[in-house]
Each structure stands twice: as C-alpha cells, then as structure tokens.
Structure 1
C-alpha cells in the first residue's frame, strides 16, 4: 500500500513504506484462537442446562469483548502504524483516533544504527536507532528487514549531503 501522496511535499518521493513486523500479530492471533476455543468448550458444557441461552449470551458477550480488546485493537494499531522513508525525510505515523507522528529531515540525521537479538535475526526484524540533532536518539522497534532499511537509510542520508 503506497503512502498517501498528499502528505508529501513537492518533489518528494517515497523510497520505502513499512508496517511493524508481523511478529506483533502473534499474541493477538493466539488470544483469538484461545478465546474462541474456550468459549466453544464452555458453550458445549452449558448446552443441556435450563439457562443455556443466557449462558451463551454471556459467553458471547465476554468472548466478543475480549476479541475486540485483545485482537482487533492490536491488529488495527499494527495496520495504522507506518514507517516511511522518503527522499527528504523519515516519517513515523501511528494511531487511529488520536494520531501521532514524527518527521526527521534527512539533513538532520547524524547516524543510523540497528540492533537485533538472535530471535529477531531469525524473524528478520530489529530495532532501528536514528540519531538526529535532537537530544536523544530515536528508536523504532520491530522494523522488518532492519539491516536493509539501515543500509538504504544510510544511502539516503549520504545522498542528501
């Protein structure tokens, strides 16, 4: 999915657009599967009770709330988080109802680093650290293909000089 062109300035082009790594979706999917399985098991247990229809409604309400809170919300949060590198800046946007973002002009970037654990190396993600003219370096976790992003961002910074 391309980043919206109306958010770019004239002459600026998107070089890379990514969402956080898919590993962030593993817990919500597991919660979904466990919730559906447990709710189905409990529904089968109460099916022969005189109050079964009320039990099913209660189970559906609790399971639905858990799925929305612990599955749908994290998936939407993942989908609405954008890490974008353009020819002029690095943009990070996140949020659904209240959006927040940060823009780092290429000319203000002093250094680019990355780090990843052995598990992150196996999964192909890591943390990207961008040091700009601000006080503290900015860290972006769960960046997919962090080594390639690091190299590409370093090239963009070198080209902007």
Structure 2
C-alpha cells in the first residue's frame, strides 16, 4: 500500500506555512468509546452464552470487525491534517484515497468561531470560513485544537491586523 502524501508536499515554494495541525483527539473519542462498549458486550456475551463453535466464531469475528472499524477511524484521524499558509487553508484527508480541500485566503469574507462548553473545557472549537457567496471545498473546520491561535493567525492574514487583547494594569 502506498503511504499518503504529506500535506506539506502541496505547499508551493512561494507560500509560507503558518500553522499545521491534526484535529483534536476528541474527534476519535466516540469511536474509541463505541469500540470499548462493543468489546464489553461481546465479552459479556462470551461469558453468558453457551459454549459452541458457532457462537465462539461469531463473537470472535464480531470483535475483529469492531477492531478493524476502530482502527480505520483512528487511521483516518491520524492522516488528516490542516495546513494554513500565507495564501490558503488546506485540509488533506483519506487513508486509501486522499482528498485535499483548499480555500484561498483572498476569497475569505467572514470568519465565525464557535466553541461549545465541552470545546472550552477540552480545548477545541469550530471555525466557519465564509467566502464571497460561494460554497468552497473547505468552509468548516471542526475539532480544531487551540482554536484561538488559529483564529488569530487567519484573522491577521485575511484582515491585516492581529486581534488586540486588553492589557492588564
């Protein structure tokens, strides 16, 4: 199997990379919890159901399917990267088929930053990037780690000034 290309290979020589990150780990937490619960159900079924080759094989194959699905979802999260350069924002995703979405920063007209209570507690958020009346390949970035840093960097590049924080006396 061919290894997915690194997203830095898509950065042009005339661009400067500003930020590169993988989405927050909470994105795969649901898969990990589901796998743990299903393994628990399979374990209870193995103890409670009468022994036999059919039941044993079904439980073994069920556990194998849970493991394969969880491994695939974690692999998807691992290879997915977001890169912001001084000219565009790119999202590369896909384990077997790689897809690279891109939005030029020159088309950005509005930024919306959203953080739920859990997002504030665990350190992730969603950035909505809007363009001049067009649907772009990349308009929402969910589960961004340290979203304040990304929001400030993209605001500075798009709108020209860094967000001013009040100074403390």
TM-score by length of 2: 0.77
Query: 1:37: Cα distance to partner?
Result: 2.2
- Any idea what the Cα deviations from partners look like across 1:5-27, whole Å, max 9, x if unmatched? 43211132322111222111221
| Structure number with higher helix proportion | 1
Q: How does 1:12-161 map to 2 (within 5 A)?
A: 12-46=15-49, 49=51, 51=52, 53-69=53-69, 71-136=70-135, 138-158=139-159
Distance of 1:130 and 1:9 partners within structure 2: 22
Query: 1:84: Cα distance to partner?
Result: 0.9
Q: How many residues align?
A: 154
Contact map agreement 1:112 1:130 (CA 8 A) in 2: yes
Unpaired stretches in structure 2, ≥5 consecutive residues: 1-5, 161-169
Q: What SS class does the counterpart of residue 135 from structure 1 fall into?
A: coil
TM-score by length of 1: 0.81
Contact map agreement 1:31 1:67 (CA 8 A) in 2: no
Contact map agreement 2:21 2:82 (CA 8 A) in 1: yes
Unpaired stretches in structure 1, ≥5 consecutive residues: none
Query: 1:108: Cα distance to partner?
Result: 2.3
